[in-house]
Amino acid sequence: MNMHSTRRSIVALVGSVSFGATALADPPPTAKVDVSVGSFQDTRGSVQCRLYRSAAGFPEEPAEGAIEKRTSIAGESVTLSFENVTPGTYAISCLHDENNNRKIDTNFFGVPTEGYGVSNNRTYAMSAPKWTESTFTIEAGKDVSLGIKLRY
């Protein structure tokens, strides 16, 4: 094999390896998640929603990878949007943070005194919502709309 043909083989090999690496590096198509939250007892404070990628911290604590959105309350419901969400399994928790302290307030017995809700609307009077009952799936390029009803 002469030097010229060896050089062409190396260029062809490098070109095919580069093409393959580029194809693998393309990010998966993302989606948007719209969350409609209501019905509020009053318009004090704000609503806080967190999008969780895993059970870590769900439903009350911020966690690595969780995305938080907040907005003021102007009526009986609000809509928040999470943009560019990669495909996977998620859960959302929402809080009517009446005093804007960024945490759920509870009474002496640990029962929440502010409105809260989760995706799939599975809330309980005497225990925290469960990750397994609150999850939903986001598929590549398919937007999701959820309605979360607050429990007071």
The answer to pTM > 0.95 is no
Asked if residue 19 has pLDDT above 80, the reply is: no
Taking the domains of the chain in order of start, what are their residue ranges? 31-149
pLDDT in tens, 21-57: 445 667 669 999 999 999 999 999 999 999 999 999 9
pLDDT value at residue 16 = 42
Question: Rounded to whole angstroms, how far apart are CA atoms 70 and 151?
Answer: 18
For strand 144-149 and strand 31-38, is the pairing parallel, antiparallel, or unpaired?
parallel
Check residue 76 and give left, alpha or beta (phi > 0: left; psi -120 to 50: alpha): alpha
**CATH architecture for segment(s) 31-149:** Sandwich (2.60)
Check residue 45 and give left, alpha or beta (phi > 0: left; psi -120 to 50: alpha): left
